[in-house]
């Protein structure tokens, strides 16, 4: 069985049937073309070919192996969908079949975008620049777009371009010999010694080229042909093969959209590995009532914007061609693998970037007061697309990225990726921060009540002067019923946990000193519960739980909070008094062990290991 992942090829692809653009023409270059025989389990010799292939496609942070056979859909002996110019070349159709299988059907590929295809076939980050309608330029084009484009191709990028105008259809004729409603691949961008800025494109048809300045055979080539040939390694051709050059100013005027795909370091050109982007990938999830806080319009909602996952980004080394700034290309993908298969609508997503000031370098989760007093330094557009991307030029320093949906309480997994020119300091989500003490001696029983408390202990403990979990449950429920009007507040599971936490000798019971410490701790958690139960419901929602734990010195990250809620909340994601005390006791014990043992893992990983079991 042969493995097809992405390789280098210049096969001219033709789209037929439903006029699908899968894969689009930029993929005819280096974007999805490594079709190598890495792990070849079969040969094409007679008797050894089994007719099956493994195609590797990038999906939501991972390369997926998709197994397909070589049975391709045809009508009258002709391929129905994607085909190569060469009649005995089928790798493009095989990869298309694998992509259709991954997405559920060929029909699911209709209406796809260039950026999605480039992302899935390269694992890269795609940026889209709107240039305006065919024949007109928009004022929103970045002043340094040519610099961005030329630099991108030096770093192994692939790209696409298209044009449209009012009334244009699919693949209709436009000015200058161009085709509207059609995908071109962008091949290169360079500056000549006379200052002329050129861009190279290719029509996947292998014909129908630009006929303006710097087109094949134009007089402008007389003086610059040798220089361009040298800059491109001798690849300059002057024939009707679909490839053509044009001035970048003309490109901005006549094309409507430019799409660039930056290639990660892991799959870039090995000969130019130093030039590829350094990448960081983080996975997360927006969860209802926990971490689906919506955008900044919902700063104080429950949950609100501060409850979204928060990811730190440290920029240290400036770009090679900039003495003061660092380039960061940030991408957010909503990772719903069944979106096409189930015809599901996309969420409106985006992200916002803040710079951390000196007092926040400890990188703990930021609260509403911090966000209200700090302005963002960058943000993406909010769009109901699979991926949103933003290129930022930032000063060296520490930042936090907050990915979010536009509306709160919308659930989805997501993948956050960051491309930088140099290796920087990245960590996954901001970790839990704790400031708890190992004992609660700051909350003693008053001296006047000490004797009465001891007599009460003697009455409930019996002759052995020790209290079991069942006896502890009985006394706690009586106290809570009398003082707080709560019936059967403490479960036996919580009382067992209290006994275990206060029983260093492992005898299964609490002596007087142990019981005294446990009671002081329980009293503390009771008071915190009453204080933060704002609606007096006798239960905590997730927002109240997070606030109460923060007050107790346990500032949980979104990941840690999610672990706690999944483990201890009910199906409505609310936490009762007994479960709150159970959470507090187990969190405290887990944090104490973490500080003592100092394991080689983050506090969030430790809490997942200890709590979620």
Q: Report the pLDDT value the prediction gives residue 359, as an integer from 0 to 100.
A: 58
Average per-residue pLDDT for the chain: 82
Residue 295, in any domain of the structure: yes
Q: What is the mean pLDDT of residues 66-70?
A: 92
Reply yes or no on whether the pLDDT at 549 is more than 50: yes
Q: What is the pLDDT of residues 495-537, one digit of tens each?
A: 999 999 888 888 889 998 888 888 888 889 999 998 998 888 8
pLDDT band for 134, please (50, 70, 90 cuts): confident
Q: Which of 249, 270, 291 is the last residue of a domain?
A: 270
pLDDT value of residue 25: 45
pLDDT band at 236 (very low <50, low <70, confident <90, very high): low
Q: Are 269 and 31 in contact (CB under 8 A)?
A: no
* Residue that finishes a domain, picked among 50, 77, 112: 112
We report the CATH number of the domain holding residue 389 as 2.60.120.380
Whether 459 and 603 map to the same domain: the answer is yes
How many of the other CB atoms lie within 10 Å of CB of 161?
26
Is there a domain that residue 453 lies in? Answer: yes
CB 474 within 8 A of CB 460: yes
Domain count, the chain: 4
Structure tokens given for 433 = 């921060």
Co-location of 577 and 471 in the same domain: yes
Which residues are tagged catalytic?
182, 203
Same domain, 172 and 217: yes
Q: pLDDT digit string (tens) for 88-128?
A: 888 889 999 999 998 888 887 876 677 888 889 889 999 99
Residues 530 and 582 in one domain: yes
Residue 381 has pLDDT above 90, yes or no: yes
pLDDT per residue as tens digits for the range 424-476: 777 666 666 666 555 554 455 566 667 777 888 888 887 888 999 998 998 88
Distance CA 573, CA 277 (A): 41
56 within a domain of the structure (yes/no) = yes
Q: CA nearest 562: which of 573, 549, 571? A: 573
Preceding amide of 23 cis, omega within 30: yes
pTM of the full structure: 0.76
Does residue 436 form part of some domain? no
Residues 209 and 161 in one domain: yes
Q: Is the peptide bond before 303 cis (omega within 30 degrees of 0)?
A: yes
Residue 442 lies in a domain: no
Q: What is the pLDDT of residue 419?
A: 93
Residue 437, domain member (yes or no)? no
In this structure, the answer to whether residues 82 and 170 fall within a common structural domain is: no
* Token digits of residue 59: 């999906």
| Bond into 529 cis (ω within 30) | no
Q: How sure is the predictor about 489, in pLDDT bands with cuts at 50, 70 and 90?
A: confident
User: Judging by beta carbons within 10 Å of its beta carbon (0-12, 13-18, 19+), is residue 372 exposed, middle or buried?
Assistant: exposed
Same domain, 265 and 290: no
The answer to whether residue 435 is domain-embedded is: no
Q: Is residue 260 located within the same domain as residue 298?
A: no
Does the pLDDT at position 203 exceed 90? no
In a domain, 9, yes or no: yes
The pLDDT of residue 278: 87
The CATH number covering residue 160 comes to 3.90.70.10
Same domain, 214 and 316: no
What pLDDT is recorded for position 172?
Answer: 78
Domain that holds residue 421: 277-337+346-430
> Higher-confidence residue: 437 or 34?
437
Q: Residues 418, 518: one domain?
A: no
pLDDT band at residue 238 under the 50/70/90 scheme? low
Size (the chain), residues: 613
Q: What is the pLDDT of residue 432?
A: 63
| Same domain flag for 100 and 24 | yes
Residues 572 and 487 in one domain: yes
Q: Please state, in angstroms and rounded to a whole number, the distance separating the CA atoms of residues 499 and 467.
A: 9
Kindly give the pairing relationship between strand 197-202 and strand 184-191. antiparallel
Per-residue pLDDT band at 363 (split at 50, 70, 90): low
Q: In the listed set 270, 297, 324, which residue is the last one of a domain according to the structure?
A: 270
Residue 106 in contact with residue 81, Cβ under 8 Å? Answer: yes
Give percent above pLDDT 90 in the chain: 28
Give mean pLDDT, residues 229-254.
81
* Measured CA angle at 196 (ends 391, 259), to 5 deg: 30
The whole-angstrom distance between residue 609's C-alpha and the CA centroid of its chain comes to 23
């Amino acid at each position: 069985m042969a493995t097809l992942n992405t390789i280098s090829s210049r096969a001219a692809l033709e789209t037929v049937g439903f006029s699908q653009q899968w894969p689009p023409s930029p993929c005819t270059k280096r974007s999805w073309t490594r079709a190598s025989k890495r792990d070849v389990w079969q040969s094409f010799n007679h008797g050894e070919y089994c007719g099956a292939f493994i195609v590797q496609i990038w999906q939501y942070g991972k390369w997926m192996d998709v197994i397909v056979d070589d049975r391709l859909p045809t009508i009258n002996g002709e391929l129905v969908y994607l085909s190569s110019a060469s009649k005995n070349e089928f790798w493009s159709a095989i990869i298309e079949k694998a992509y259709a299988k991954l997405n559920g059907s060929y029909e699911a590929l209709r209406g796809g975008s260039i950026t999605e295809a480039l992302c899935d076939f390269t694992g890269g980050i795609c940026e889209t620049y709107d240039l305006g309608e065919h024949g007109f330029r928009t004022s929103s084009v970045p002043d340094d777009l040519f610099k961005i484009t030329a630099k991108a191709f030096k770093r192994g990028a692939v790209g696409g371009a298209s044009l449209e105008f009012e009334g244009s259809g699919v693949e209709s004729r436009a000015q200058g010999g161009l085709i509207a409603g059609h995908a071109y691949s962008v091949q290169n961008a360079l500056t000549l010694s006379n200052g002329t800025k050129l861009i190279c494109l290719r029509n996947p048809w292998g014909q129908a080229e630009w006929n303006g300045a710097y087109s094949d055979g134009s007089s402008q080539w007389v003086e610059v042909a040798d220089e361009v040939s040298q800059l491109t390694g001798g690849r300059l051709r002057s024939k009707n093969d679909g490839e053509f050059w044009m001035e970048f100013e003309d490109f901005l005027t006549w094309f409507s959209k430019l799409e660039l795909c930056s290639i990660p370091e892991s799959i870039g050109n090995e000969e130019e590995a130093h030039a590829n982007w350094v990448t960081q990938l983080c996975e997360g999830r927006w969860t209802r009532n926990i971490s689906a806080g919506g955008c900044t319009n919902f700063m104080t909602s429950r949950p609100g914007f501060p409850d979204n996952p928060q990811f730190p980004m440290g920029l240290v080394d400036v770009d090679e061609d900039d003495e003061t700034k660092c380039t960061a290309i940030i991408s957010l993908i909503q990772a719903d693998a069944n979106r096409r298969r189930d015809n599901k609508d996309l969420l409106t997503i985006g992200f916002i970037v803040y710079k951390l000031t000196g007092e926040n370098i400890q990188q703990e989760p930021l609260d509403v007061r911090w966000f209200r007093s700090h302005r963002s330094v960058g943000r993406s557009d909010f769009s109901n697309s699979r991926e949103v991307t933003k290129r930022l030029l930032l000063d060296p320093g520490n930042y936090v990225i907050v990915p979010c949906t536009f509306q709160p309480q919308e659930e989805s997994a997501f993948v956050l990726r960051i491309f930088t020119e140099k290796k920087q300091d990245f960590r996954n989500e901001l970790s839990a921060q704790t400031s708890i003490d190992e004992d609660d001696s700051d909350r003693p029983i008053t001296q006047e009540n000490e004797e009465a408390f001891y007599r009460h202990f003697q009455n409930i403990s019996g002759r052995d002067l020790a209290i079991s979990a069942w006896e502890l449950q009985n006394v706690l429920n009586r106290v809570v019923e009398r003082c707080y009007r709560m019936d059967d507040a403490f479960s036996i599971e919580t009382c067992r946990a209290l006994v275990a936490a206060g029983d260093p000798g492992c005898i299964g019971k609490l002596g007087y000193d142990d019981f005294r410490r446990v009671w002081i701790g329980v009293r503390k958690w009771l008071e915190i519960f009453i204080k933060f139960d704002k609606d007096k419901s006798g239960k905590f929602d997730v927002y109240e739980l997070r606030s109460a734990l923060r007050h107790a010195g346990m500032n949980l990250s979104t990941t840690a909070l999610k672990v706690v809620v999944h483990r201890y909340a009910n199906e409505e994601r609310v936490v009762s008094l007994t479960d709150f005390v159970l959470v507090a006791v187990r969190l405290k014990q887990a944090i104490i062990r973490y500080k003592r043992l100092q394991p080689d893992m983050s506090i969030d990983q430790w809490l997942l290991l200890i709590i979620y079991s």
